[in-house]
Each structure stands twice: as C-alpha cells, then as structure tokens.
Amino acid sequence: MYNFEFSKPSTIADAVVALGQDEAQALGGGQTLLPTMKQRLTQTETLVSLTGIAEMIGISTNGAGEICIGGATTHAAVAAAAGYPGLAGLAGRIGDPAVRTRGTIGGSLANNDPSACYPAAALGSGATLVTNTREIAADDYFQGLFETALEEGEIVTEVRFPVPEVSHYEKFVQPASRFALVGVFVAKYADGVRVAVTGASSDGVFRWAEAEAALSADFSKGAVDGLAVPGGDMISDLHGTADYRAHLVKVMTGRAVAAAS
C-alpha cells in the first residue's frame, strides 16, 4: 500500500470540500477499495472517510411509503431493519459478518460491482439514489460494469426504496467470494412487477423485461417457465459459462417468486 492522507469529516459539506482536493477518494466501508490499495492496484493522495457523518447513518420511513437508508449505513444495520423484509434478507447474506459490519450500502452502490447484491435491490425496487447535489432514479443510475451516473466528488447520501407488496432476493453464491454468481431480486408493486439480475451480465445489473411482463400478469413461479434468457450478453468464466448463467437467471427468478409468494 502506498502512503496517503486520511480525512474523516463529520458533515456532508465538509466531505464535499475534502473530496475537492486533488487525488482525493471517498471511502465507505472499504471492503473493495482497501484491498485494492493493499495490492497497489490503485493509489490516492487522500482517503475521505464517510463513516463519521451522522446524517448519512440510519434507517427511517417517509410519507411516500419508502424506507430511507443513509449512505453510510452498514449492511448489518440494513439486515436488522424492519419494514422491507426482501431488502433485509438480501443484506443479511452479503459477504460474512465482518464484511456486513464494515461495508456500507452507499459504498456498494457507488462501486457498482457487477456481482454485488445491492444493485439488484435498488434496480428491482425502482429506488432513488440521493446525492449531495441531486436525486437519481435507479433506472438511470447504473451504466455498466463499475460505471454509474455519479460525477466526480458526488456522494450517495441516502437511498430511498419504495416498499413493495412482496419481494425476495434469490442468490446463487460463488462460494469463494460470497458474491452472486447470479442473483435475482423480485418485487411486486400495485402497478406491476420488477425483476433485477446481478452477477450474470457483462453489462452489469439489468432488468429482465420479459419476466416482469409475465409476472405482472401472473405472479407465480410457472409464469417464467416458458421464458428464455439469451446467453449472448452473459459473463463466461471459470465459475460458469454464459449459457449456465442464463439458465440460472431463470431458475433464481422462479425461486424468488416462489419464496415471495
């Protein structure tokens, strides 16, 4: 690891100022950034920790039927939260206890790892990501592998999840990393069903539109039996071929619907 300066602001305004310095990098839980720095695969002059900002920590609800989670809230806190069982269940299966104690929802969504769990929850819920400057719909936020709509120095301060009627996250775990080989988040709302898939596509998290249409008409496991996921855009590596991942998308979707039902 290279030498760096460390800053731990106590307010969002102070964090924005600190991130305005040359070569400054935001630090959430550090579950991806710090190992990368230890391997000297990345370098920064200043790390700006967001974990001491009280206004970015905590879980609440609002009058719009949303659960609002501060960007610096840990996975463990989300896992223990009431009000959105599908989201809590997802958070409770991220990594291991050490990762869940340190990792934060804002850090995960800002990193947008193609196999991370939270992107599926955000996209599958139609969440709104609130930053220090604006609000971004999840449908506009995710823009490819490790790519998001965030601009330089922009911080995810809060994530607002509309609470569905029922939901569930089904995850086929890659045992070495605990990331999703394929993960599917299904959420049923009054105006339809959303299905988001992580871990499978070379373009990152995505919505499975055909499944959404079928499940909006018939919210049952059998509704996806006749569907097929094209394997052309799927990841193919030593853990699974593209066709295998495409098959898992369908299987995990069916299991998620069955569990939610």
250-258 average pLDDT score: 97
Cβ-based neighbours of 15, under 8 Å, separated by 6 or more = 9, 26, 48, 50, 53, 132, 155
The boundaries of the domain holding residue 179 are 166-260
| Domain C-terminal end among 49, 66, 87 | 49
Count of C-beta atoms within a 10 Å radius of residue 44: 17
Structural domain count, the chain: 2
pLDDT tens digits, one per residue of 146-200: 999 999 989 999 999 999 999 999 999 988 888 899 999 999 999 999 999 999 9
From residue 59, how far is each of 27, 70, 235 by CA, in Å?
A: 20, 6, 34
The CATH number covering residue 5 comes to 3.30.43.10
Domain-located, residue 216? yes
pLDDT tens digits, one per residue of 99-120: 999 999 999 999 999 999 999 9
Element (H, E) at 189: strand 180-189
The CATH number covering residue 180 comes to 3.30.390.50
Cα dihedral 55, 147, 128, 174 sign: negative
Domain-located, residue 34? yes
Given a cut of 80, whether residue 74 has pLDDT beyond it is yes
Using only C-alpha atoms, the chain has a radius of gyration, in whole angstroms, of: 18
Count of C-beta atoms within a 10 Å radius of residue 83: 13
List, in sequence order, every residue forming a beta bridge with 189; answer none if it has no partner.
192
Domain-located, residue 174? yes
d(CA 51, CA 84): 23
Domain-located, residue 235? yes
pLDDT tens digits, one per residue of 199-214: 999 999 999 999 999 9
What does the block give as tokens for 140? 């506009």
| Domain C-terminal end among 30, 49, 68 | 49
